[in-house]
């Protein structure tokens, strides 16, 4: 009450001063509000910029952000990429998922038919691979890419089967094999004997089945990798037309890989990119071929990817020491650094010629039954392919950081 009275009796000057004070107070309040607004804007801007910052945390880069890539950055990223080391418990858990029964009966058996390009056998094998990948929970994007090519046997339709875990990821680790079988000359048949067909178990039905088993064993992990929008994803390629119809030559062999390398070199990645293509997105091209005979040897073929060959050596050694490989007498049996061999012609060549880093997992010397009717299930050593699949499980899991 007293306060009211005092107000009532205030002089003109006091009233003026009071008004001025109130005015000052409201200005201070306005200033504070402005400052708070500016602070909020600065914080929002800072958060936005840091979430789009590509300098240190590459895991945040993704094509959904519509970022254009630079070739030097992609090269730097692939050269500096390091595998994530698994603990013993993780290794045991990962290789425990490899199922040799599934590999042998569900995955390999349906591929062991004649599968010449453009035939019903080829289509059936393609359908088997496609439907298996479609059934997995990881959510592969699948594509059958068909094209016609002139061959010594006339125009033939070839079909590559492609699977990508996350097509929008900036970088890819590519695992490849060929699913076509070789057309054998009639002279290779036993005279008057029953007609036998070339089945190409090691060439390359087993490598295709191993890749299918690998991604099946890691299915749950790959699903998580995809959900995490990782910077490096996995691509699978099942090539058609690896084999020559006559004597292998640059124009008669590697039909599918020549076509795909050309396609990828013309496809901008990310879509709309001006400087980068799907080929630039390839960290490493891993090719499996001629696998399945007992006691195989694999040598390193390329200096620029020797550190990835070393990873295979290291995975084999760790699995051996943990007692996780069977019929595997020595710590280092398969991946041999003590031997040297020149490069071998195969589906990696068109990619190598375009500068893609290659890891060629091909048995050397070639199996004695290569390109004979004896390349059948009877000559395949199930423990060897199980062991090699386990090595690849560790390799893949550590490369992509599962
Ligand atoms: C591997 C399996 N190769 C053939 N069957 C290697 C090769 C491919 C060699 C094309 C020459 C040409
Ligand atoms: Zn062959």
- Nearest CA, atom 3, ligand 1: 346
254 C-beta closer than 6 A to ligand 1: yes
Helix then strand then coil, in percent of the chain rounded to 5, is 45, 15, 40
What percentage of the chain carries pLDDT values higher than 90?
74
pTM for the full predicted model: 0.84
Full DSSP string of 358-369: EEEEE-SSPPTT
Kindly identify the ligand whose nearest atom is closest to the C-alpha of 207: 1
pLDDT digit string, tens, across residues 72-128: 888 898 899 999 999 999 999 999 999 999 999 999 999 999 999 999 999 999 999
Q: Are 184 and 373 in contact (CB under 8 A)?
A: yes
Q: Which residue, chain included where needed, has tokens 């990310």?
A: 270
pLDDT at position 7 over 80? no
287 C-beta closer than 6 A to ligand 1: no
Ligand 1 atom with minimal separation from the 371 CA: 5
Q: Which residues of 99-131 are buried (b: 16+ CB within 10 A; e: fewer)?
A: bbeebbebbbebbbbbbbbbbebbeebbebbbe
- Nearest CA, atom 6, ligand 1: 346
The pLDDT value given to residue 189: 61
Kindly identify the ligand whose nearest atom is closest to the C-alpha of 366: 1
Mean pLDDT of the chain: 87
Taking the centre of ligand 1 as the mean of its atom positions, its distance from the CA of residue 289, in whole angstroms, is 9
143 C-beta closer than 6 A to ligand 1: no
Distances (CA, A) of 264 to 259, 302, 351, 384: 9, 22, 10, 34
Q: Which residues of 139-158 are buried (b: 16+ CB within 10 A; e: fewer)?
A: ebeeeeeebebebeeeebeb
Please state the rounded mean pLDDT for residues 35-52: 44
Around ion ligand 2, residues with a beta carbon closer than 5 Å are: 182, 203
Q: Where are the beta strands (DSSP E) in 184-279?
A: 232-239
- Nearest CA, atom 2, ligand 1: 203
Q: What count of other Cβ atoms lies within 10 Å of the Cβ of residue 299?
A: 18
Q: Which residues contact 172 (CB under 8 A, 6 or more apart)?
A: 164, 232, 233, 234, 235, 281, 282, 283
pLDDT digit string, tens, across residues 283-311: 999 999 999 999 999 999 999 999 999 99
Distances (CA, A) of 102 to 212, 262, 323: 10, 35, 22
324 C-beta closer than 6 A to ligand 1: no
252 C-beta closer than 6 A to ligand 1: no
253 C-beta closer than 6 A to ligand 1: yes
Taking the centre of ligand 2 as the mean of its atom positions, its distance from the CA of residue 212, in whole angstroms, is 20
Query: What is the rounded CA–CA span in Å between residue 280 and residue 300?
Result: 23
Please state the rounded mean pLDDT for residues 353-377: 97
The pLDDT value given to residue 192: 67
The pLDDT value given to residue 341: 81
347 C-beta closer than 6 A to ligand 1: no
Taking the centre of ligand 1 as the mean of its atom positions, its distance from the CA of residue 132, in whole angstroms, is 26
| CATH architecture, domain defined by 75-400 | 3-Layer(aba) Sandwich (3.40)
246 C-beta closer than 6 A to ligand 1: no
289 C-beta closer than 6 A to ligand 1: yes
The pLDDT value given to residue 190: 63
Query: What is the rounded CA–CA span in Å between residue 151 and residue 254?
Result: 11
Closest CA to 368 of 384, 377, 383, 379: 379
201 C-beta closer than 6 A to ligand 1: no
Ligand 1 atom with minimal separation from the 347 CA: 8
């Amino acid at each position: 009450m007293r306060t009211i009275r005092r107000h009532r009796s205030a002089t003109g000057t006091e009233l003026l001063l009071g008004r001025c004070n109130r005015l000052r107070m409201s200005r201070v309040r306005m200033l504070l509000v402005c400052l708070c607004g500016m602070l909020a804007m600065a914080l929002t801007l800072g958060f936005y910029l840091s979430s789009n910052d590509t300098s240190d945390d590459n895991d945040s880069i993704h094509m959904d952000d519509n970022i254009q890539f630079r070739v030097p950055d992609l090269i730097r990223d692939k050269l500096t990429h390091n595998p994530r080391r698994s603990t013993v418990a993780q290794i045991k858990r990962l290789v425990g998922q490899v199922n040799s029964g599934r590999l042998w009966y569900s995955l390999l058996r349906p591929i062991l038919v004649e599968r010449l390009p453009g035939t019903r056998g080829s289509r059936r094998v393609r359908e088997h691979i496609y439907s298996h990948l479609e059934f997995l929970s990881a959510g592969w994007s699948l594509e059958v890419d068909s094209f016609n090519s002139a061959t010594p046997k006339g125009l033939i339709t070839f079909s590559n089967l492609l699977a990508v875990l996350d097509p929008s990821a900036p970088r890819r680790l590519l695992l490849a094999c060929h699913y076509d079988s070789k057309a054998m000359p009639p002279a290779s048949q036993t005279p008057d004997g029953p007609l036998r067909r070339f089945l190409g178990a090691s060439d390359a039905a087993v490598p295709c089945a191993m890749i299918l088993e690998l991604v099946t064993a890691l299915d749950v992990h790959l699903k998580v990798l995809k959900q995490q929008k990782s910077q490096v994803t996995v691509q699978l390629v099942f090539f058609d037309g690896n084999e020559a119809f006559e004597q292998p030559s640059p124009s008669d062999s590697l039909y599918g890989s020549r076509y795909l390398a050309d396609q990828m070199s013309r496809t901008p990645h990310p879509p709309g990119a001006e400087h980068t293509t799907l080929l630039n997105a390839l960290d490493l091209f891993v090719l499996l071929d001629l696998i399945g005979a007992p006691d195989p040897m694999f040598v390193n073929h390329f200096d620029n990817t020797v550190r990835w060959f070393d990873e295979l050596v290291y995975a084999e050694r760790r699995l051996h020491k943990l007692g996780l490989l069977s019929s595997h007498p020595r710590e280092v049996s398969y991946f041999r650094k003590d031997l040297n061999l020149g490069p071998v012609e195969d589906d990696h060549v068109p990619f190598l010629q375009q500068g893609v880093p290659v890891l060629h997992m091909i048995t050397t010397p070639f199996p004695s039954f290569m390109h004979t009717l004896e390349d059948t299930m009877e000559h395949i050593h199930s423990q060897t392919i199980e062991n090699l699949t386990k090595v690849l499980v560790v390799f893949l899991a550590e490369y992509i950081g599962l």
